[in-house]
Structure 1
Amino acid sequence: MMKVKTLHEIHVEGIQALYKTLGPVDMIRFLQMFDHGKGDYTEERNKWLSENLEEIYAEIVEMQEDTESDNPP
Protein backbone atom coordinates (compact mmCIF):
# COMPACT_ATOMS: atom_id res chain seq x y z
CA MET A 1 0.00 0.00 0.00
CA MET A 2 1.30 3.45 -0.95
CA LYS A 3 1.81 5.95 1.88
CA VAL A 4 0.14 9.30 1.33
CA LYS A 5 2.63 12.05 2.10
CA THR A 6 1.71 15.11 4.08
CA LEU A 7 1.96 18.51 2.44
CA HIS A 8 4.94 19.26 4.69
CA GLU A 9 6.76 16.13 3.49
CA ILE A 10 6.07 17.04 -0.14
CA HIS A 11 7.30 20.58 0.48
CA VAL A 12 10.54 19.37 2.10
CA GLU A 13 11.22 16.85 -0.67
CA GLY A 14 10.51 19.44 -3.33
CA ILE A 15 12.91 21.95 -1.78
CA GLN A 16 15.56 19.24 -1.48
CA ALA A 17 15.09 18.28 -5.15
CA LEU A 18 15.33 21.91 -6.27
CA TYR A 19 18.44 22.46 -4.14
CA LYS A 20 20.08 19.31 -5.51
CA THR A 21 19.21 20.08 -9.14
CA LEU A 22 19.57 23.87 -9.29
CA GLY A 23 21.85 24.73 -6.40
CA PRO A 24 21.00 27.24 -3.69
CA VAL A 25 21.04 30.45 -5.75
CA ASP A 26 18.95 29.21 -8.68
CA MET A 27 16.61 27.40 -6.28
CA ILE A 28 15.85 30.72 -4.58
CA ARG A 29 15.45 32.49 -7.94
CA PHE A 30 13.04 29.76 -9.06
CA LEU A 31 10.97 30.03 -5.88
CA GLN A 32 10.81 33.82 -6.19
CA MET A 33 9.00 33.43 -9.52
CA PHE A 34 5.97 32.18 -7.58
CA ASP A 35 5.82 35.04 -5.08
CA HIS A 36 2.78 37.09 -6.00
CA GLY A 37 3.67 39.94 -3.67
CA LYS A 38 0.98 41.88 -1.89
CA GLY A 39 -1.30 44.80 -2.48
CA ASP A 40 -3.03 45.98 -5.63
CA TYR A 41 -0.37 46.86 -8.20
CA THR A 42 -2.87 48.37 -10.66
CA GLU A 43 -4.35 50.69 -8.06
CA GLU A 44 -0.90 51.72 -6.79
CA ARG A 45 0.38 52.26 -10.34
CA ASN A 46 -2.59 54.49 -11.20
CA LYS A 47 -1.94 56.50 -8.05
CA TRP A 48 1.77 56.92 -8.93
CA LEU A 49 0.98 57.90 -12.50
CA SER A 50 -1.66 60.44 -11.53
CA GLU A 51 0.66 61.98 -8.94
CA ASN A 52 3.44 62.23 -11.48
CA LEU A 53 1.17 63.72 -14.12
CA GLU A 54 -0.09 66.32 -11.66
CA GLU A 55 3.48 67.25 -10.77
CA ILE A 56 4.44 67.52 -14.42
CA TYR A 57 1.39 69.68 -15.15
CA ALA A 58 2.20 71.97 -12.22
CA GLU A 59 5.77 72.36 -13.49
CA ILE A 60 4.55 73.24 -17.00
CA VAL A 61 2.14 75.86 -15.64
CA GLU A 62 4.91 77.33 -13.49
CA MET A 63 7.29 77.49 -16.46
CA GLN A 64 4.62 79.18 -18.58
CA GLU A 65 3.97 81.75 -15.85
CA ASP A 66 7.71 82.42 -15.52
CA THR A 67 8.01 82.88 -19.29
CA GLU A 68 5.03 85.26 -19.37
CA SER A 69 6.45 87.36 -16.52
CA ASP A 70 9.81 87.59 -18.34
CA ASN A 71 8.09 88.74 -21.55
CA PRO A 72 5.26 91.15 -20.70
CA PRO A 73 2.85 91.99 -23.58
Structure 2
Amino acid sequence: MNTQTRPVSEINRQATHILFKEMGVVDTIRFLNQFSVGQGDYTKERHTWLNDISMNDVISQIKAEKK
Protein backbone atom coordinates (compact mmCIF):
# COMPACT_ATOMS: atom_id res chain seq x y z
CA MET A 1 0.00 0.00 0.00
CA ASN A 2 1.34 3.39 -1.01
CA THR A 3 1.06 5.93 1.83
CA GLN A 4 2.82 8.77 0.02
CA THR A 5 0.71 11.76 -0.97
CA ARG A 6 0.70 12.31 -4.72
CA PRO A 7 -0.64 15.25 -6.69
CA VAL A 8 -4.26 14.89 -7.80
CA SER A 9 -3.17 15.34 -11.42
CA GLU A 10 -1.00 12.20 -11.13
CA ILE A 11 -3.83 10.23 -9.53
CA ASN A 12 -6.21 11.34 -12.31
CA ARG A 13 -3.70 10.36 -14.99
CA GLN A 14 -3.21 6.91 -13.50
CA ALA A 15 -6.93 6.35 -12.93
CA THR A 16 -7.73 7.35 -16.51
CA HIS A 17 -5.05 5.02 -17.82
CA ILE A 18 -6.44 2.12 -15.78
CA LEU A 19 -9.99 2.81 -16.96
CA PHE A 20 -8.90 2.95 -20.62
CA LYS A 21 -7.00 -0.31 -20.21
CA GLU A 22 -9.79 -2.17 -18.41
CA MET A 23 -12.93 -0.69 -19.94
CA GLY A 24 -11.88 0.74 -23.29
CA VAL A 25 -11.98 4.31 -24.52
CA VAL A 26 -15.71 4.62 -25.22
CA ASP A 27 -16.89 3.27 -21.87
CA THR A 28 -14.27 5.32 -20.03
CA ILE A 29 -15.45 8.51 -21.70
CA ARG A 30 -19.09 7.66 -20.98
CA PHE A 31 -18.18 7.00 -17.34
CA LEU A 32 -16.21 10.23 -16.95
CA ASN A 33 -18.93 12.33 -18.61
CA GLN A 34 -21.21 11.58 -15.66
CA PHE A 35 -19.06 13.87 -13.56
CA SER A 36 -18.82 16.86 -15.89
CA VAL A 37 -20.19 20.07 -14.46
CA GLY A 38 -21.87 21.33 -17.60
CA GLN A 39 -22.69 24.92 -18.41
CA GLY A 40 -25.41 27.45 -17.80
CA ASP A 41 -28.28 27.51 -15.33
CA TYR A 42 -30.80 24.86 -16.33
CA THR A 43 -33.44 26.13 -13.90
CA LYS A 44 -33.44 29.66 -15.35
CA GLU A 45 -33.33 28.34 -18.92
CA ARG A 46 -36.18 25.92 -18.27
CA HIS A 47 -38.40 28.77 -17.08
CA THR A 48 -37.79 30.70 -20.30
CA TRP A 49 -39.02 27.88 -22.54
CA LEU A 50 -41.70 26.42 -20.25
CA ASN A 51 -43.07 29.63 -18.73
CA ASP A 52 -46.07 29.92 -21.06
CA ILE A 53 -47.06 26.23 -21.07
CA SER A 54 -49.84 25.13 -18.73
CA MET A 55 -50.32 21.66 -17.31
CA ASN A 56 -53.37 21.25 -19.55
CA ASP A 57 -51.19 22.03 -22.59
CA VAL A 58 -48.73 19.33 -21.51
CA ILE A 59 -51.49 16.77 -21.00
CA SER A 60 -53.01 17.62 -24.39
CA GLN A 61 -49.63 17.19 -26.09
CA ILE A 62 -49.11 13.80 -24.40
CA LYS A 63 -52.55 12.59 -25.48
CA ALA A 64 -51.95 13.79 -29.05
CA GLU A 65 -48.65 11.90 -29.21
CA LYS A 66 -50.32 8.67 -28.06
CA LYS A 67 -52.84 8.79 -30.95
Report the TM range for the smaller structure's normalisation: 0.5 to 0.7
Q: Shift of the alpha carbon at 1:39?
A: 1.3
| Identity of matched residues, % | 40
* Aligned residue type for 1:9: E
Name the larger-Rg structure. Answer: 1
* Number of residue pairs matched by the alignment: 52
Q: Which residue of 2 is the match for residue 33 of structure 1?
A: 34
With the length of structure 2 as denominator, give the TM-score of the two structures. 0.67
Q: Which residue of 2 is the match for residue 46 of structure 1?
A: 47
Q: Which runs of 5+ in 2 are unaligned?
A: 54-67
The CA RMSD measured in Å over matched residues stands at 1.8
With the length of structure 1 as denominator, give the TM-score of the two structures. 0.62
Q: Which residue of 1 is the match for residue 15 of structure 2?
A: 14
* Higher helix fraction (1 or 2): 1
